[in-house]
Structure 1
Amino acid sequence: MSGEHKTTAVSGHNLPAQATSFVGRQEELGEIAGLLADPRCRLLVLVGPGGIGKTRLAIEAAAALLGDFADGVYFVPLQSVAAPEFIGPAVAQAIGFSFYGSDDPREQLFDYLRDRQMLLVVDNVEHLLPGGELLVELLARAPHVKLLVTSREVLGLREEWVRPVRGLAFPPGEGAAPAGSYSAVQLFAERARQVNASFSLEREAGCASAISRLVEGMPLAIELAAAWLRALPCAEVAREIQGSLDFLTTTLRNVPERHRNVRAVFEQTWNRLPAAEQEVFRRLSVFRGGLTREAAGAVAGADLPTLQSLVDRALLSVSPAGRYEIHELLRQFAAERLAAEPEVWAAVHQRHCSYYAGFLARREASLKGDDQVLALTEVADELDNVRGAWRWAVDEGLEDQIRDSMGGLHIFYQARSLFREGARAFDVAVERFQGRGSELLPALRLLQAWFYASAMDQNKLRALVDEGVAGLRAAGTGGTLAMALAAASWLGIEEAAPPAPGLPELYEDNLAAFRRAGDLWGEAWSLYSLGSLAWAAHRDEEARDLLQASRDRFLTRGDRWGSTYALHNLGLVLSRLGDYRGAVAVFQQSLRACQQVGDRGGEAFSLHHLGLVLGLREEHGLSMRYLADALRVALELNDDEGAVWHLYEMALALTRMGRHAQAIEILAQLLQVMEPGYERDTIESALAEAAAGLPADVVAGARSRGETAG
């Protein structure tokens, strides 16, 4: 890098640690560094066939540039991303950015990156080429971000600079320099010694050179060839590869020429596998984003010795976290073998779907209790598989699997603020079962409405409630539906209207049923719902008692995250009752719980209301610190709407502290981004109050400074 953004400090990164040595590529590393130092080159695409080493080269190049990007170097893996719409979430996850609120996630991401000086290593884009326009817009909106992309195809974008990646250097034939001077042979020798300590490059130089030529220096093929040395002499490995190269050149008409040597290596690997291992490996191709030993056994019938054998043959790798991973090219090869028998293909996908439906069902209790942080992490690790299983269940109309999945998905999507993805997931399910007379449809519609309401769109929830409480009763109370039903209580709070006819009775009936069943979690949500209705109706003492009882049930169940719902409303009730000391204690308890669970949005809510209550107690300095912390979290989440209201409350606090000019500056700044309507009128009124009694020139100066800052 060059110019005013140059820095020599080592920045943050998430580049994956590598278990094996990096061999060769010094010329390529120098070229990549030079291109990325050129201010004209902001989208550098490493293009080459699968297995050529693009990813490893990109990681090594990025590691050498850690000191050149002040805001970090981040690896964005897209291998398991199924559609272009998930590129943005993948980038956000890689850089540690959380979506929040109702704004367009894409806009949130662009706003977050706007002033960042960052290198993003975007890996495996070839199956997501329609998503290239997102990369172009990102470059336009974030002028100090650079992209180092790996792909099997050029992106077809004006902005891209293409750097082809070819195989490692290999001996061209007889009379060449010593074999050990070529990086392809060096790589083969290193990997050979890992599987066979007696391997000698001096003794096997001719064979190693021949293998390097046959695979044209392709790193993945070299590593697969070296893995065979567990069972075969080097010369025989070379003969096997040589014997099949010409034959495999014409087996698949749509395989590019550059892939045919790699496919020869894959074919030889496949043919060397015992029939049982072939069957397991092709079935493993159904997984996306890796898999666990348990999943491999349940879906593909793989036992530990078979998995270890596949690892030994370089068909599987084991991540530092202990998950099995399949190189995408190998997975595609295995998937072709699986698809050759449609009945087997369908049966394996069915087992995959059933396994992950059960996976979610088995974690539902943990998501409601003491182990919820671990359970949330486990679901996040399997999200690509969970998405695929849900799509299969919906497409095939598998009611049992959908029923098993929907509770875990409900909690996970909500706890991770993936409201829009949750809404889309239940949109397709509702569409699939609409008009089929399915008993699942009321529950699916309720969960769909929950996610829209969480994203600040109450229309589907209002439509459900307007249809009558009978429809809500038809949804049932199993799984997480007690939580979903609580959303209906939000309408009274948002709209300051009486509850729908029969809604209080529904909550009372559910509460009684949960108590009879000894279901503390269902009881807690029913108490929360009744407490919210009482709060909306200004029956504050009743609301306090109900919400305290809800909190206690959640905590007895071990659900810290669920307790924050009760705590948030309880704090508001206590504040309205004038029990400021109690409200502060409740919001502090909520803040601790949100931080423990990792709910950043709940953290901002708790900080905000701590600031408000302390302001009512006239502890203005402490109030401002909490509001400033809430603003900081909102900015980290790119929650512009939240940031506006944190700033608004800070302005009111400044007014109460007598710092009127500063309050006017903030309010004038906010008016620059507010559309006409109730919210703008509220800010105008606050500005008028702050300006009351001040000289006109002081007010004008403060407004001017705020408008300029805005």
Structure 2
Amino acid sequence: MRRSNLPAELNRFVGRTSEQRELARLLGESRLVTVVGMGGVGKSRLALRAASAAEKRYADGAWLADFSVLRDPELVALALAEALGLTDHSLRPPEETLIDHLSERRTLLVVDGFEQLVEECAPLLRQLLERCPGLTVLAVGRRPLRVAGETVFALAPMGADDAERLFLARAAAAGAPGSDPDAPGPAFDPAAVRELCRRLDGIPLALELAAARMPLLTVEQVLHRLDDRFRLLANGARGTLPRHQTLRTAIGWSHELCTPEERLLWARLSVFAGPFDLEAVEYVCAGRELPPERVLDVLDGLLAQSLVVREVTPAGPRFRILDTVSVYGAEWLAALGDAERMRRRHRDWYMGLATWCELEWFSPRQAEVAVCVDAALPNLRAALELCLEEPDEAHLAQQLAGTLWFAWVGCGRLAEGRHWLDRALASGPVHPDHTDHTSARLKALWVLGYVAILQGDGTAGVAALHECGKRARATGNALAQAYATHRMGCLALLSDDMPRAEELIDRALVAYRELGELNSNVLMAQVELAMARGFLGDLEGAVALCVDVREICEERGERWTRAYALYVLAYAAWARGDHPEARALLTECVTINHTFHDLVGLVLAIELLALVTASEGDPSEAAVLQGAALPVWDVVGLQLFGSGHFNGPRALCAREAGELLGAERYGASVREGQGLSLDAAVDRALSVRRHPAARVSGSPAPRPFRTKAPENAEARRLPHW
């Protein structure tokens, strides 16, 4: 089970022995330790080193939340939950989700780069520390949080010996001749190295930038060039702390040593928020002064100088410009008068990426799309923020937020999707004369309706879908009207109004076929129609619909919708007594849903798998699985959507397992399941268990999908269009 998301060290950690020892001591004595210091002094590296060393003391692991690329204060709690691997589809404030998760766990949380969001971070961390006694926070920033109980650890630059060792180690790694005193050939002059480290004030970032130049320059040449920079800045800005000025000098000196193309690329890279790939750089940063065919070589030059770092991510190789370096580049970009144009190019690239991802979601590259969007999320947020800055560009925000429906719904980000959709739809005027503006708004509306329904917010869902349907009819947008009708049918399905669900979803499917629309949403409509018909007693018809969906998914390489079709087919297999087939289908279903972080599909599959397990003759394990589903429902929303139909498998399983085990043993097994983490619950569900006590094929199967008529069914019936 995953107990940490701390990144591995990419090069050797040098020095800081006394600082490591002191930080370890403070972590043993205080539940909130904040490492403060100037940019480039090595705060993050030291904190991660200390967290890795302390991780074994925390039963539930050490987790890093990197806020350095976050700018929206409303996303602080969501970003923290995401760092902990939590997903919450419900309408609960994310703060409650965090408290529920951490309250009974012993966890070390590293919060890095919080300074631009300190007003939001400080009260959140105080609340978590007050409510979660097993939580320890190691915060990293340029200023304290000013929270009661905080212990501040001020990190100074390196001492002389450590600074020299770091410089020599990094110079040797860069391939500099003379950096290794044991290697043949002339070695660096120790006095010159000592003087260079002194002039750079022992600031690790400055030392590493200087070391990266050693393959081309001697230590004496670097000193000479630094002398020129210091003299130039001697009459610079008053009130600047000497060490801050030293770092700025070192970065400015690195900037001067770059070629004109490297300086230009450095400035343009500052528009990226978080990791980026080569294709993004080539589109956003290339131009007349920097031809596309030169971008790779120029980027390689920045990499060689340690101004840009390369990372290996699940989405493939990505690059990242160091925060302090990015700030310097942004100042140069503004001085060039090119910042707004570059921000728009950045936005255009990520809008294009989102469009490509939406198209490729319905393809064999679906899993690749999921990890691509995950890696691009900080930049997608930056693009959305830019769209929202100008009211006249609100339609672009609506288009982008709507295009990312698959990320919100299919990849477990309902809460963040709701945040952006609400903001996009609330900003800017409605332009009925602009077809593209209207289309963007309509798409954002039906996606908002979809997200709100899955969150259990039927009121907001109906409002958004009603507006979408009304405007679609008024503007003749048949496709948007079909989506609105489809999602109203989805709400009817979850509200136990099966005749209405069948009518609306069937109507939407007819419209989709007439319009030639085929994608994951359309196939999901077919699965939802199958569910409605199954709930109404037509299991054979439901199976036929889902077999068709499965075949199309196999042809197209689609997996997300396929999992929901497998869920229906698994129920049918269980109903006819074919438990091995039901288990095989649900095993694939659980695997797919867990891969895409789709908690709705995952928890439904676990619930049905519990019933299959009970029917196989293992009521204790069935109760464990039922218990494992409960925490997932807590984050998904209303348990089984408050639906009598969807509650059928759970109710039947509870009855059968409870009768065989007795109330005490059944309750103990459920509690055991409740204590499992999500990953452990999935591992448990995927454990293959075969039992001889399976029901004989052909014997009557209970009908669990409808245990009782829903209360006040007439009141829950949805209004007609």
Is 1:64 the counterpart of 2:53? The answer is yes
- In the aligned structure 2, how far is the partner of 1:627 from the partner of 1:377? 34
Q: Please, which of 126, 148, 162 is the counterpart of residue 152 of structure 2?
A: 162
Is 1:197 the counterpart of 2:198? The answer is no
- In the aligned structure 2, how far is the partner of 1:152 from the partner of 1:20? 24
* One-letter identity of the residue aligned with 1:446: W
Name the structure 1 match of 2:511.
510
Q: CA deviation at 1:139?
A: 1.1
Q: Measured at CA, do residues 565 and 252 of structure 1 come closer, stay the same or move farther in structure 2, by a change above 3 Å? A: farther
Q: Which moved more, 1:119-128 or 1:651-660?
A: 651-660
Is 1:631 the counterpart of 2:638? The answer is no
Name the structure 2 match of 1:700.
none
- In the aligned structure 2, how far is the partner of 1:579 from the partner of 1:653? 18
Q: Measured at CA, do residues 153 and 522 of structure 1 come closer, stay the same or move farther in structure 2, by a change above 3 Å? A: closer
Q: Which structure 2 residues correspond to residues 583-598 of structure 1 after superposition, within 5 A?
A: 584=582, 587=586, 590-595=589-594, 597-598=596-597
Name the structure 2 match of 1:360.
354
Q: CA deviation at 1:648?
A: 6.5
Q: Measured at CA, do residues 282 and 658 of structure 1 come closer, stay the same or move farther in structure 2, by a change above 3 Å? A: closer
Name the SS of the counterpart of 1:49 in structure 2.
coil
Name the structure 2 match of 1:675.
none
Q: Measured at CA, do residues 45 and 662 of structure 1 come closer, stay the same or move farther in structure 2, by a change above 3 Å? A: same
Q: Please, which of 57, 63, 76 is the counterpart of residue 74 of structure 1?
A: 63
- In the aligned structure 2, how far is the partner of 1:108 from the partner of 1:279? 44
Is 1:34 the counterpart of 2:35? The answer is no
Name the structure 2 match of 1:458.
458
Q: State whether residues 114 and 143 of structure 1, in contact with CA within 8 Å, keep that contact through their aligned partners in structure 2.
A: yes
Name the SS of the counterpart of 2:137 in structure 1.
strand
Name the structure 1 match of 2:383.
389
Name the SS of the counterpart of 1:149 in structure 2.
strand
Is 1:185 the counterpart of 2:164? The answer is yes
Q: State whether residues 92 and 109 of structure 1, in contact with CA within 8 Å, keep that contact through their aligned partners in structure 2.
A: yes
Q: Measured at CA, do residues 579 and 483 of structure 1 come closer, stay the same or move farther in structure 2, by a change above 3 Å? A: farther
Q: Measured at CA, do residues 647 and 33 of structure 1 come closer, stay the same or move farther in structure 2, by a change above 3 Å? A: farther
Name the SS of the counterpart of 2:327 in structure 1.
helix
* One-letter identity of the residue aligned with 2:558: D
Q: State whether residues 29 and 57 of structure 1, in contact with CA within 8 Å, keep that contact through their aligned partners in structure 2.
A: yes
Q: Measured at CA, do residues 537 and 285 of structure 1 come closer, stay the same or move farther in structure 2, by a change above 3 Å? A: same
Q: CA deviation at 1:67?
A: 2.9
Q: Which moved more, 1:100-109 or 1:320-329?
A: 100-109
Name the SS of the counterpart of 2:152 in structure 1.
strand
* One-letter identity of the residue aligned with 2:446: L
- In the aligned structure 2, how far is the partner of 1:148 from the partner of 1:653? 48
* One-letter identity of the residue aligned with 1:507: A
Q: Measured at CA, do residues 611 and 580 of structure 1 come closer, stay the same or move farther in structure 2, by a change above 3 Å? A: farther
Q: CA deviation at 1:227?
A: 1.9
Q: Measured at CA, do residues 643 and 323 of structure 1 come closer, stay the same or move farther in structure 2, by a change above 3 Å? A: same
Q: Measured at CA, do residues 559 and 285 of structure 1 come closer, stay the same or move farther in structure 2, by a change above 3 Å? A: same
Is 1:15 the counterpart of 2:11? The answer is no
- How many residues align? The count is 641
Structure 2 segments unaligned to the other structure (5+ residues): 182-186, 287-293, 641-646, 673-706, 711-721
Name the SS of the counterpart of 1:382 in structure 2.
helix
Q: Measured at CA, do residues 208 and 666 of structure 1 come closer, stay the same or move farther in structure 2, by a change above 3 Å? A: closer
Q: Which structure 2 residues correspond to residues 48-447 of structure 1 after superposition, within 5 A?
A: 48-130=37-119, 131-170=121-160, 182-195=161-174, 196-199=176-179, 203-245=188-230, 247-248=232-233, 251-252=236-237, 256-301=241-286, 303-321=295-313, 322-342=317-337, 344-396=338-390, 397-398=392-393, 405-406=400-401, 408-437=403-432, 438-439=437-438, 440-447=440-447
- In the aligned structure 2, how far is the partner of 1:337 from the partner of 1:27? 38
Over residues 614-642 of structure 1, what are the superposed CA-to-partner deviations in whole Å (9 max), with x where a residue is unaligned? 65xxx274355245224325437864867
Q: Measured at CA, do residues 468 and 32 of structure 1 come closer, stay the same or move farther in structure 2, by a change above 3 Å? A: closer
* One-letter identity of the residue aligned with 1:584: A
Name the structure 1 match of 2:557.
558
Name the structure 1 match of 2:694.
none
- In the aligned structure 2, how far is the partner of 1:234 from the partner of 1:87? 44
- In the aligned structure 2, how far is the partner of 1:220 from the partner of 1:120? 25
Over residues 149-198 of structure 1, what are the superposed CA-to-partner deviations in whole Å (9 max), with x where a residue is unaligned? 1111111112210111011112xxxxxxxxxxx11112122222333123
| TM-score relative to the length of structure 2 | 0.80
Q: CA deviation at 1:289?
A: 1.1
- In the aligned structure 2, how far is the partner of 1:494 from the partner of 1:231? 67
- In the aligned structure 2, how far is the partner of 1:115 from the partner of 1:486? 42
Q: State whether residues 608 and 627 of structure 1, in contact with CA within 8 Å, keep that contact through their aligned partners in structure 2.
A: no
- In the aligned structure 2, how far is the partner of 1:483 from the partner of 1:252? 59
Q: CA deviation at 1:538?
A: 5.8
* One-letter identity of the residue aligned with 1:316: V
RMSD: 3.6
* One-letter identity of the residue aligned with 2:365: D
Over residues 258-288 of structure 1, what are the superposed CA-to-partner deviations in whole Å (9 max), with x where a residue is unaligned? 4111001111111222222211110100111
Q: CA deviation at 1:457?
A: 0.5
Q: Measured at CA, do residues 522 and 57 of structure 1 come closer, stay the same or move farther in structure 2, by a change above 3 Å? A: closer
Q: State whether residues 651 and 662 of structure 1, in contact with CA within 8 Å, keep that contact through their aligned partners in structure 2.
A: no
Q: CA deviation at 1:485?
A: 5.4
- In the aligned structure 1, how far is the partner of 2:23 from the partner of 2:661? 57
- In the aligned structure 2, how far is the partner of 1:57 from the partner of 1:666? 43
Q: CA deviation at 1:238?
A: 1.3
Name the SS of the counterpart of 1:50 in structure 2.
coil
- In the aligned structure 2, how far is the partner of 1:477 from the partner of 1:633? 39
Q: CA deviation at 1:50?
A: 0.4
Q: CA deviation at 1:223?
A: 1.0
Structure 1 segments unaligned to the other structure (5+ residues): 1-9, 171-181, 670-681, 686-710
- In the aligned structure 1, how far is the partner of 2:367 from the partner of 2:376? 15
Q: State whether residues 12 and 73 of structure 1, in contact with CA within 8 Å, keep that contact through their aligned partners in structure 2.
A: yes
Q: Measured at CA, do residues 434 and 148 of structure 1 come closer, stay the same or move farther in structure 2, by a change above 3 Å? A: same
- In the aligned structure 2, how far is the partner of 1:233 from the partner of 1:135? 48
Q: CA deviation at 1:491?
A: 2.5
Over residues 657-699 of structure 1, what are the superposed CA-to-partner deviations in whole Å (9 max), with x where a residue is unaligned? 3725656899999xxxxxxxxxxxx99x9xxxxxxxxxxxxxx
* One-letter identity of the residue aligned with 1:61: A
Name the SS of the counterpart of 1:121 in structure 2.
strand
Q: State whether residues 654 and 660 of structure 1, in contact with CA within 8 Å, keep that contact through their aligned partners in structure 2.
A: no
Q: Percent identity?
A: 24
- In the aligned structure 1, how far is the partner of 2:35 from the partner of 2:335? 32
Q: Which moved more, 1:118-127 or 1:154-163?
A: 118-127
Name the structure 2 match of 1:491.
491
Over residues 529-572 of structure 1, what are the superposed CA-to-partner deviations in whole Å (9 max), with x where a residue is unaligned? 54455457666554444344334333332212112334445666
Q: State whether residues 590 and 602 of structure 2, in contact with CA within 8 Å, keep that contact through their aligned partners in structure 1.
A: yes
Q: CA deviation at 1:379?
A: 0.9
Q: State whether residues 71 and 116 of structure 1, in contact with CA within 8 Å, keep that contact through their aligned partners in structure 2.
A: yes
- In the aligned structure 2, how far is the partner of 1:164 from the partner of 1:465? 54
Q: State whether residues 420 and 452 of structure 1, in contact with CA within 8 Å, keep that contact through their aligned partners in structure 2.
A: no
- In the aligned structure 1, how far is the partner of 2:481 from the partner of 2:554? 19
Q: Measured at CA, do residues 158 and 242 of structure 1 come closer, stay the same or move farther in structure 2, by a change above 3 Å? A: farther
Q: State whether residues 245 and 260 of structure 1, in contact with CA within 8 Å, keep that contact through their aligned partners in structure 2.
A: no
